[in-house]
Amino acid sequence: MHKIKPNILLVYTGGTIGMVRDSQTASLHVFDFENLLNKIPELQQLECDIQSYSFKKPIDSSNMNPNHWIQIAEIIESNYNVFDGFVVLHGSDTMSYTSSALSFMLENLVKPVIFTGSQLPIGDLRTDAKENLITSVQLASLQKNGNPVITEVCLYFEYKLYRANRTTKINAENFEAFASPNYPTLAESGVHLNVNHSYLFKPNLNQPLIVHKTFNTNIALLKLFPGITEVFLKTTLKTPELKGIIIETFGAGNCMTDTWFINLLKETISKGIYIINITQCISGSVNMGHYETSSQLKEIGVISGKNMTTESAICKLMHILADDISYINFKLKYETSLRGELL
């Protein structure tokens, strides 16, 4: 019996990976993805059929915003029944934000959506683009008994596949640009492609895909530092239309215990504004109440972001704020793992 090859849709949104350098001027211009197989013949060796879709105007990832996230989600939604997997090419600077957002947008996802990019353009001699692209397509093509092996939104970079909403960009120079500080690698590419099956997200296979397309961006991100002033905090917390704020605290969720500080947070919460506590440490988790310097936060109703990355915490906040739900339900939903983004 002839085995049907998986269909993979390659979505180019922008970024370095889709650029080639003009040999005469050394300037970068957008790669023509219609000629993808001609430029990267190695892709023809993969056991899959590849089609591509490009944004009409490529987006530098620094200009990415929720409207672009919705555009990517709608491309996946409209092609969901036709393709077995999706590879999204994206600039690395905000890739962790976009891929985290997509993980929350695509509820009941049962197919792979793999984000990748590169530090050097695809035509450069020492580029990392080819390996990242080829292996991402291969991972998106993996099947067992006719079903995709990977059933979540991931990020692949420099020989490692990560859960997207667990990633953060850690380096602007090295090829190993990303890390997943609080969750193991899902797969590693070496001589063999090793998938860590026990760490993969296990969705409900019997539920239809639901695509959430609304975000509330009336949020703020505040990083605590020794010497932060009352006037600065007051100004931030009195931002018009503010609905939620993420505070990056010290260590395991600790902060100063000055009366003015706690009172300001308490007053803010009383106005119906959600305050989320995440750690500014690269790895580790918020554990409010473990130390005296965080117990007051717990008492006044600050919500724990547990061990989420800043990128994931922001995207989850904008996602849940789009629903008009009570404080109790909001807190319960935020502190619950929706797509494997927290413990």
| 191 close to 202: Cβ distance less than 8 angstroms | no
Question: Looking up tokens 């709608």, which residue turns up?
Answer: 74
Q: Which residue, among 184, 115, 189, 193, has the nearest Cα to 154 in the 3D structure?
A: 115
| 82 close to 7: Cβ distance less than 8 angstroms | yes
d(CA 90, CA 87): 10
SS3 of residue 154 by DSSP: strand
Q: Which residue, among 131, 156, 314, has the nearest Cα to 222 in the 3D structure?
A: 314
249 is catalytic: no
d(CA 33, CA 330): 42
Structure tokens at 95: 């890739």
Q: Which residue, among 281, 280, 342, 286, has the nearest Cα to 315 in the 3D structure?
A: 342
| 120 close to 137: Cβ distance less than 8 angstroms | no
Using the 8-state DSSP alphabet, how is residue 254 labeled? B
d(CA 102, CA 92): 15
The letter for the amino acid at 120 is L
d(CA 321, CA 325): 8
SS3 string of 14-34? CCHHHEEECCCCCCEEECCHH
Catalytic residue among 16, 127, 168, 249: 16
Residues in the chain: 343
Helix (H) or strand (E) holding 303: strand 303-304
Tell me the longest C-alpha to C-alpha distance in the chain. Answer: 73
Neighbours of 86 (CB within 10 A): 26
Just list the catalytic residues: 16
